Amino acid sequence: MKTGEIIRLSGHLKGVNDVQFSPDGQRLISASDDNSIIVWHLPSYQKVLRLVQHSACVIRAQFSLDGHSIISCSNDKTIRLWDCSSGREIQKFAAHSRPIADLQFSADCQTAVSGSKDKTVRLWNLNSKLEMYKLEGHLDWVTGVDISPNGKIIVSSASDKTVRVWA
């Protein structure tokens, strides 16, 4: 790996909150305070898609492991699932009562877990489009979430100085 900046990607109108490579390394996504997600083609570094359905800053965007979908969360309190080829919004989840701080796909891409400033962690079935679980216990806003590779354990971190393991 060489060090140093090789290229600057410009396209967002406000600060960028998150970036992630696609599983095949051919694309990059960036999530921004300008309420958008940009999909970039690598190695040409060209903007391929701009996803603009969120009504507030996008905090996190993540590729599915198969690279066909993108999931995102925003301060607009929603989770959105996108088709990576067309940029079409597949599903919108009115997910939390306050802004969402983090979001993760499960390894099988069938579920997603989210954590919010509403102090809850929620597990979503992406096929049925339903909330599976609402996990409560944090005393302050949830700052991070993850789901184990087998999908059976969720971990969350919060401003209440704790990490919780949910099984």
Beta-carbon contacts of residue 156 (< 8 Å; ≥ 6 apart): 115, 121, 135, 138, 142, 144, 145, 163, 164, 166
Q: What is the arithmetic mean of pLDDT over 37-56?
A: 96
Q: Provide the CATH number for the domain formed by 13-94 in this structure.
A: 2.40.10.480
Sign of the Cα pseudo-torsion (51, 120, 16, 28, in order): negative
pLDDT at 1: 57
Query: Do the Cβ atoms of 92 and 110 come closer than 8 Å?
Result: no
Q: What is the pLDDT averaged over residues 58-84?
A: 96
pLDDT mean over 36-61:
96
pTM confidence score? 0.91
The torsion angles phi and psi of 119, rounded to 5 degrees, stand at 75, 15
| Length of the chain as a residue count | 167
pLDDT at 36 > cutoff 80: yes
| pLDDT for residue 43 | 85
Task: State how far the Cα of 100 lies from the Cα of 22, in Å rounded to an integer.
Answer: 22
What count of other Cβ atoms lies within 10 Å of the Cβ of residue 29? 24
Q: Is 161 helix (H, G, I), strand (E, B) or coil?
A: coil
Helix (H) or strand (E) holding 29: strand 27-32
pLDDT at 6: 82
pLDDT mean over 107-126? 96
How large is the average pLDDT for residues 116-128? 96
* Res 84 pLDDT > 60: yes
